[in-house]
């Protein structure tokens, strides 16, 4: 494969937190996905799958109690129960449309992920009805993991019981911070009392894995408070902890306020401080026996605790994505659904897949996508890329790797490349460098 890779060295962004996206969620960038690519993407759906490719399901629940000031997702805070019922019915109908396609055939689901928005905004009955409807079409009995994202203030004992009944194995709690004033300042709907109460219930309910999400660098964050957040997290003993560094994409309330007041710099900690905070958290968690599993995750028992969704997706799994604005990936093709609620419902009613845009990846783009996603794990197997893509990554990225080694950022261990902690904590800021030259757009494009 002739590779058209960038020859320039990576340039690290400013230390100040400015408006724009930092986190690299996918490749090629969303601005290269288009409605024009839908017809050829539909042809892919009418082909059989690549043998042996795992299949997962992503279910998007776009409802929230209120909009957080840092949120960049398309969320709805005004939908009534009848609209939610209609939406859930559409999700089931959408899966039924996929299930008839040759790309799905008689494949089994290996993982299921309920994301949002706030999936736990749904009532226990809505959740049981939705999961029963989805399971009837594609059974979950062979799924290794069912992840469910929760906002602590939307949970109750009865809802947690319903989630266990549904088969949820990995409960992910969007804690973000333990300080009530900070939660309020950032527009979060929950408070710390709900975190402690619901965590306790969730433990009693017996979920095999509980993850806690934190954000380093929320509005109002201080070194003392962050230390307190780490201590509280450690006391709860979650199976895994995910920490994101605060970014301020353009479609957030915080950015709109920055723009209105003519400020270029976001009113949150700079990148160096946020990295230092994540490093402090990782070190404290390591002292408690956790292992660092990616740029964002610490895991209490890596022999037992896995994140199947992430690991399969980052190694090229297929994933059906249901719901308004959601993203899927099937046989080397990205798909995104329409972003408007009414449009989504009416397209499903008309019996068609509600696609808004697509992007068909060539072989080189599939390689780059997996390579940059696996960089986020901090360990890259040279053997894996040689086996799957027949690419020697040492030759493909020789000059960049030399430069990274000179910085002390890259090491070799038994045929794997290991990223230093310093690089891992800022990995998203260098991933653009590994894109094809034609895809090296600003890191600032909107994501929703």
Residue ranges in contact with ligand SF4 by CB under 6 A: 64, 67-68, 71, 73, 75, 116-118, 151
Residue 194 region, left (φ>0) first, then alpha (ψ -120 to 50), else beta?
A: alpha
Do 440 and 369 contact (CB within 8 A), yes or no?
A: no
Q: Which is nearer to ligand SF4, 87 or 435 (CB)?
A: 87
Q: Say how far apart CA 237 and CA 200 lie, in whole Å.
A: 11
| DSSP single-letter state for residue 248 | B
- How far apart are CB 253 and ligand SF4 at their closest, in Å? 10
Shortest Cβ distance from residue 201 to ligand SF4 (Å)? Answer: 20
Q: How far is the CB of 251 from ligand SF4 (least distance, A)?
A: 11
Q: Report the residue number whose CB is nearest to ligand SF4.
A: 71
Report the residue count for the chain: 448
Q: Which is nearer to ligand SF4, 175 or 338 (CB)?
A: 175
Give the nearer residue to ligand SF4 in terms of CB position, either 337 or 400: 337
The single residue listed with the structure tokens 């310093």 is 422
CB of 71 to ligand SF4, least distance (A): 3
Q: From the CB of 152, what's the least distance to ligand SF4, in Å?
A: 10
For ligand SF4, the closer of residues 113 and 434 by Cβ is: 113
Minimum distance of ligand SF4 from residue 182's CB (angstroms) = 14
3-state SS, residue 244:
strand
Nearest to 49 by CA among 112, 110, 140: 110
Cis peptide preceding 50, ω within 30 of 0: no
Q: Which residue's entry shows tokens 């949970």?
A: 155
Relative orientation angle of helices 271-287 and 223-236, to the nearest 10 degrees = 30
Q: Mind spelling out the 3-state secondary structure of 328-377?
A: EEECCEEEEECCCHHHHHHHHHCCCCCEEEEEECCHHHHHHHHHHHHHCC
Q: Which is nearer to ligand SF4, 159 or 433 (CB)?
A: 159
Residue 212 tokens, joined: 């806690």
Tokens of 8: 């320039």
Q: How far is the CB of 118 from ligand SF4 (least distance, A)?
A: 5
Nearer to ligand SF4, 55 or 195 (CB): 195
- The least distance separating ligand SF4 from the CB of residue 1, rounded to whole angstroms, comes to 39
Q: Write out the two tokens for 104.
A: 């799905």
| 448 HSE (CA, 13 A, CB side) | 15
Nearer to ligand SF4 among residue 248 and residue 361 (C-beta): 248
Please say which residue, 118 or 179, places its beta carbon nearer to ligand SF4: 118
Measured CA to CA, the distance from residue 172 to residue 342 in angstroms comes to 29
């Amino acid at each position: 494969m002739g590779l058209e890779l960038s020859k320039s060295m990576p340039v690290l962004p400013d230390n100040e937190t400015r408006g724009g996206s930092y986190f690299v969620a996918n490749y090629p960038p969303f601005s290269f996905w288009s409605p024009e690519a839908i017809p050829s993407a539909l042809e892919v759906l009418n082909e059989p799958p690549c043998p042996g490719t795992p299949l997962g399901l992503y279910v998007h629940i776009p409802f929230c109690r209120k909009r957080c000031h840092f949120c960049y997702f398309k969320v709805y805070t005004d939908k009534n129960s009848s609209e939610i019922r209609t939406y859930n019915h559409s999700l089931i109908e959408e899966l039924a449309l996929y299930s008839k396609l040759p790309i799905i055939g008689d494949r089994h689901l290996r993982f299921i992920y309920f994301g949002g928005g706030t999936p736990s905004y749904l009532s226990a009955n809505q959740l049981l009805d939705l999961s029963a409807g989805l399971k009837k079409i594609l059974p979950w009995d062979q799924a290794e993991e069912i992840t469910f994202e929760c906002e602590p203030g939307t949970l109750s004992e009865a809802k947690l019981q319903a989630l266990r009944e549904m088969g949820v194995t990995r409960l992910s709690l969007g804690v973000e911070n333990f300080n009530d004033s900070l939660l309020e300042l950032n527009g979060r709907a929950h408070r710390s009392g709900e975190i402690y109460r619901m965590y306790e219930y969730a433990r009693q309910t017996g979920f095999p894995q509980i993850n806690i999400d934190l954000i380093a660098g929320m509005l109002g964050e201080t070194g003392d408070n962050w230390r307190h957040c780490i201590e509280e997290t450690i006391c709860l003993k979650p199976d895994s902890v995910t920490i994101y560094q605060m970014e301020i994409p353009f479609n957030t309330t915080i950015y709109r306020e920055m723009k209105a007041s003519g400020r270029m710099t976001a009113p949150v900690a700079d990148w160096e401080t946020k990295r230092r905070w994540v490093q402090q958290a990782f070190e404290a968690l390591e002292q408690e026996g956790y292992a660092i599993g990616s740029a964002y995750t610490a895991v209490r028992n890596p022999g037992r605790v896995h994140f199947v969704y992430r690991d399969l997706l980052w190694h090229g799994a297929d994933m059906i994505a249901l719901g308004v604005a959601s993203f899927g990936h099937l046989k080397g093709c990205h798909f995104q659904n329409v972003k408007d609620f009414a449009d989504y419902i009416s397209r499903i009613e008309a019996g068609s897949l509600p696609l808004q845009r697509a992007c068909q990846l060539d072989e080189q783009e599939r390689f780059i996508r997996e390579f940059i996603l696996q960089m986020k794990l901090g360990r890259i197997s040279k053997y894996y890329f040689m086996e799957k893509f027949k690419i020697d990554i040492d030759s493909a990225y020789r000059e960049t790797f030399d430069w990274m080694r000179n910085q002390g950022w890259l090491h070799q261990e038994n045929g794997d490349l290991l990223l230093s902690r310093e690089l891992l904590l800022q990995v998203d800021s260098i991933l653009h460098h590994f894109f094809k030259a034609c895809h090296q757009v600003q890191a600032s494009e909107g994501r929703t």
